[in-house]
């Protein structure tokens, strides 16, 4: 049963990574963070978070299963995660605002 939890963590990591990599694009950042878009676009931070989340998803897959199966499942998780992000960006981009807000509220950021 613990393996199932690792798969869910991997799915969440894949989705979060896809969201942060999408928000690293200025167009998607402005689309999601409409009022806050003028404050600046933290693209390097978003890219770093995106790749770290994808690496964490891979680590969770490796924890849950043998390496050959884990890599296969990780790649298979990337497809629905990217598709879900694309659909949410097209349909209701405000749903992804909490991922962008997490970057805006990081320590050291100015909130004016």
* Residue ranges of domains in the chain: 2-104
Placement of tokens 């879900």 in the chain = 84
Q: Which range, 30-34, 69-73, 107-111, is most confident?
A: 69-73
Q: Of 79, 77, 98, whose CA–CA distance to 87 is shortest?
A: 79
The pLDDT of residue 94 is above 60: yes
Structure-model confidence comparison of residues 51 and 102, the more confident one: 51
The tally of CA atoms less than 13 A away on the side-chain side of residue 104 is 19
Mean pLDDT over 90-106 rounds to: 81
Rounded average pLDDT over 1-9: 86
pLDDT band at 107 (very low <50, low <70, confident <90, very high): low
Given a contact cutoff of 8 angstroms between Cβ atoms, the answer to whether 37 and 94 are in contact is no
Split at pLDDT 50, 70, 90, the class of 8 is: very high
Fill in the DSSP letter of residue 37. Answer: G
pLDDT (tens digit per residue) in 35-93 = 666 567 888 999 999 999 999 999 999 999 999 999 999 999 999 999 999 999 999 99
- Is residue 1 pLDDT above 60, yes or no? no
- For residue 54 the two structure tokens come to 């994808």
pLDDT at 112: 43
């Amino acid at each position: 049963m613990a393996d199932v939890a690792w798969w869910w963590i991997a799915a969440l990591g894949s989705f979060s990574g896809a969201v942060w990599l999408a928000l690293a694009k200025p167009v998607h950042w402005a689309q999601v963070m409409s009022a806050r878009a003028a404050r600046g676009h933290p693209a390097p931070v978003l890219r770093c978070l995106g790749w770290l989340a994808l690496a964490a998803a891979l680590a969770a897959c490796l924890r849950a299963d043998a390496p050959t199966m884990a890599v296969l499942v990780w790649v298979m998780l990337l497809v629905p995660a990217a598709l879900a992000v694309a659909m949410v960006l097209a349909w209701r981009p405000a749903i992804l605002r909490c991922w962008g807000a997490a970057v805006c509220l990081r320590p050291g950021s100015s909130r004016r």
